[in-house]
Amino acid sequence: MLLQPVILSGGSGTRLWPLSREAYPKQFLPLTSEHTMLQETVRRIDGLSAEHPRLAIGQLDPLVVCNDSHRFLVAEQLRLIGRRPARIVLEPKGRNTAPALTLAALAASGPGEDPVLLVMPADHVIRNEPGFRAAVADAYAIASEGSVVTFGIVPGKPETGYGYIRQGQALRMEGLSGSAYALDGFVEKPDVETARRYLSTGEYLWNSGIFVLRASVWLDLLERFRPDIAQAVAKAFDSAQLDGDFLRLDPDLFGACPSDSIDYAVMERLSAAAQSGDAADFPRAVVVPLDVGWSDVGAWSALWEVREQDATGNVLDGDAFVHNANDNLLVAKHRMLAVIGVNNLIVVETPDAVLVTSKEAAQDVKAVTQFLQSQQRDEHRHHQRVHRPWGSYESIGQGSRYQVKRLVVKPGESLSLQMHHHRAEHWVVVSGTARVACDDKTFLLTENQSTYIPVGATHRLENPGSIPLELIEVQSGSYLGEDDIVRFEDRYNRDQSPSG
C-alpha cells in the first residue's frame, strides 16, 4: 500500500515576526539548517524504505496543500532540492486543517488507490530523523489495517502552550519497533500546575498535529462527523482545475466550506465515541509516542531552545556580537548587531524592522502584527525584499513622487506584459541581459545600458540569458502603489492582484 506524504503548508507568519511575514511565513525560512523548514519536512522521510524495507513504498513525492499566494514559493523550494510534487493543492482561502486534509485525501485517491497518508505540518523541527522514520514505519503498519494514528510527543517539561493526548492501554502488535497505545482522550492547554501533574503521571503526551491514516478512512470519518465540511470540500474539489503541478479551486466554492481543525472535526469525536462504548462502529484511534527532539517552533523562545547555543547560552545568527550577556537569541540579517550586559532577550534585526523582547514575552509578538494590520502598514505582510515567481524586488529608496527598486530576474523568466496608469519607469541594467518589449519595439539591453518606459506604455521585461538579470528601476509619477498594474499576458497565470 502506497504511503503518500502530505504537507500542510498553511501558516500566517505572525509568531516569528519580523523574520516571518504573511507573504513569506516561517516554513519558507532556513531557521535551523541550510534548508528551509518546508525542505526539511520533505527531506525528513528520505531513507524510509532503505531503513525499513518491509514498507517497500518507493519514491515519496510530497503532496502539498498551501495558500494560493504561496504556490511559487512551494514549487521553487521543492525544485531547489530536486523534488517534484505529487501535486500542489492551492487553497484560495485558509479554512484550517480539516478541509486541507480532505483536499489531500481526495487528490491522493483514485480508481483502486487508497494510500496511507502521512500528514505533516511544514514548519516543525525534528532532530532525530531516523527515530522519526522508525515511528512512521510503525504508524504505517498500524494505519494500513484501518486505524487512525497520531504521534504524541514525550514531554520534557510542564508546557502550557500545547494541547495534550492521554494514552490508554498499550497495544500488542507484531513487528513494531516501538510502542503504541489506545488514544484515550484529548486535553486542552493546561495551566502550570495541571501540566506538572500531567508530566508526573507519564500518561500524557503533547499533541504533535502529525497523523497517519488511509485516505478512505479520513473521508469516511469526516462524512460521519462533519458532513458539511465533507460535502463543501468535495464540491470545490470536483470543480478544480489542473494547472501544471497546481490544482486550483474555485474561491467561492471553497470559501463556503466551514473552517475546522483535524482535532476538533474528527479526532476528538472519534476518541469520545470510543469512550462511550461505540468503538466497534469506528476505526481504532492510536497514539504512537515520539521522543525525537520535536518542536513546532511556535515562538522565538522555542527557536532559541532548538538552536545550538554557545558556552554562555547565546544563539548568534548573522553579524552579531555579545559582551557580558547570556542566554540571548540574536538574529542579524542586514547590519551588525551588538548586545551588552543583558540576559534572556530575543533581538531580531531585518532591513525594515527590529524586534526586542524577553523570552518570557515572546508569545506576544502577535500584538505587533495586529497593530501593523490595524494601521494598514505593509510590514506584517512583506519583507523589504518581495519574492515573485520571476525573481524578486526590493525598495532601496523612495520619496515624494519617486521610488527606486532593485529587481533580480531569474534566467529564462519574465515579468507579465503590463502597463501603468500613473507611473513611468527608467531601467538601468547592472548585470546580465534584458529583453525589453515597449509598445511595438523589442530590444536587448546589457550592462550599463538603460531605457525609459512612459506612462501608459505596454511593456515586458525578460531575462533571456543564463545568469540572473539585475537592474535598477526608478519609478516616477503621481501614484506608485503595486496595485497600479494592468496585466495583459502572464506565464504564471496570475490575476490582476499584485500579490498573485
- HEC secondary structure over the chain: CCEEEEEEECCCCCCCCCCCECCECHHHCCCCCCCCHHHHHHHCCCCHHHHCCCCCCCCCCCEEEEEHHHHHHHHHHHHHCCCCCCEEEEECCCCCHHHHHHHHHHHHCECCECCEEEEEECCCEECCHHHHHHHHHHHHHHHHCCCEEEEEECCCCCCCCCCEEEEEEECCCCCCCCCCEEEEEEECCCCHHHHHHHHHHCCEEEEEEEEEEEHHHHHHHHHHHCHHHHHHHHHHHHCCEEECCEEECCHHHHHCCCCCCHHHHHHHHHHHHHHCCCHHHCCCEEEEEECCCEECCCCHHHHHHHCCCCCCCCEEEEEEEEECCECCEEEEEEEEEEEECCECEEEEEECCEEEEEEHHHHHHHHHHHHHHHHCCCCCCCCCCEEEECCEEEEEEEEECCEEEEEEEECCCCECCEEECCCEEEEEEEEECCEEEEECCEEEEECCCCEEEECCCCCEEEECCCCCCEEEEEEEEECCCCCCCCEEEECCCCCCCCCCC
Q: What is the CATH number of domain 385-489?
A: 2.60.120.10
CA distance 176 to 494: 48
Mean pLDDT of the residues in the chain: 93
Contact between 89 and 254 (Cβ < 8 Å):
no
Using the predicted structure, report yes or no on whether residue 449 has a pLDDT greater than 70.
yes
pLDDT at 279: 64
Q: Which residues pair with 431 in a beta bridge?
A: 470
Contact between 34 and 177 (Cβ < 8 Å):
no
Pairing of strands 486-489, 125-126: unpaired
Contact between 359 and 21 (Cβ < 8 Å):
no
Using the predicted structure, report yes or no on whether residue 310 has a pLDDT greater than 70.
yes
pLDDT at 78: 96
Average pLDDT over residues 394-421: 95
Give the model confidence (pLDDT) of 253-278 as tens digits. Answer: 999 999 999 999 999 999 888 777 66
| Single-letter amino acid code for the residue at 256 | A
Average pLDDT over residues 473-486: 93
Say which residues have a Cβ less than 8 Å from residue 280's Cβ, sequence separation at least 6.
none
Give the model confidence (pLDDT) of 151-180 as tens digits. Answer: 999 999 998 889 999 999 999 888 888 999
pLDDT at 495: 65
Using the predicted structure, report yes or no on whether residue 499 has a pLDDT greater than 50.
no
Same-fold call for 3-295 versus 385-489: no
Average pLDDT over residues 239-258: 95
| Single-letter amino acid code for the residue at 127 | R
Confidence of residue 498 (pLDDT cuts 50, 70, 90): very low
Average pLDDT over residues 468-484: 94
Give the model confidence (pLDDT) of 90-126 as tens digits. Answer: 999 999 999 999 999 999 998 889 999 999 999 999 9
Using the predicted structure, report yes or no on whether residue 74 has a pLDDT greater than 90.
yes
Using the predicted structure, report yes or no on whether residue 57 has a pLDDT greater than 80.
no
Q: Can you give the residue ranges of every domain in the chain?
A: 3-295, 307-374, 385-489
CATH class of 3-295: alpha beta
Give the model confidence (pLDDT) of 188-234 as tens digits. Answer: 899 999 999 999 999 999 999 999 999 999 999 999 999 999 999 99
pLDDT at 497: 46
Confidence of residue 55 (pLDDT cuts 50, 70, 90): confident
Give the model confidence (pLDDT) of 318-351 as tens digits. Answer: 999 999 999 999 999 999 999 999 999 999 999 9
pLDDT at 500: 37
Average pLDDT over residues 126-130: 96
Using the predicted structure, report yes or no on whether residue 496 has a pLDDT greater than 60.
no
